[in-house]
Amino acid sequence: MSQTEVHKKWQSKNKERAKYLSNRSRARSFIKNQATEEDIEEFKELLQQRKELRKKPPLSVRAFFLILFLI
């Protein structure tokens, strides 16, 4: 099996991981090679927001249903 075939086989078995890696690679390349100062400032804000969201604990199933029924 050629390296290309092996790579395609891995991608088909790991679609979510392959998509993640591709997106990450494109984002890094954009930041390194094309991002303007404005872009970088916007990314800083987005990253800070993302960090804040990740700090919050996920809702428990019980809390989710309580909120759902209150609406």
Tokens of 68: 């759902």
DSSP 34: T
Query: Cβ of 58: how many Cβ atoms within 10 Å?
Result: 7
pLDDT of residue 71: 67
Global pTM reads 0.67
Query: According to the model, what pLDDT value does residue 8 have?
Result: 95
What are the residue ranges spanned by the domains of the chain?
Answer: 3-70
pLDDT tens, the chain, 71 aa long = 899 999 999 999 999 999 999 999 999 999 999 999 999 999 999 999 999 888 877 767 777 777 878 76
| Residue 68 CA: distances (Å) to CA of 55, 58, 71 | 23, 15, 6
pLDDT at 67: 80
Q: Which of 23, 26, 21 is nearest to 35 (CA)?
A: 26
C-alpha separations of 18 from 3, 12, 23 in Å: 16, 9, 9
In this predicted structure, what is the pLDDT of residue 54? 85
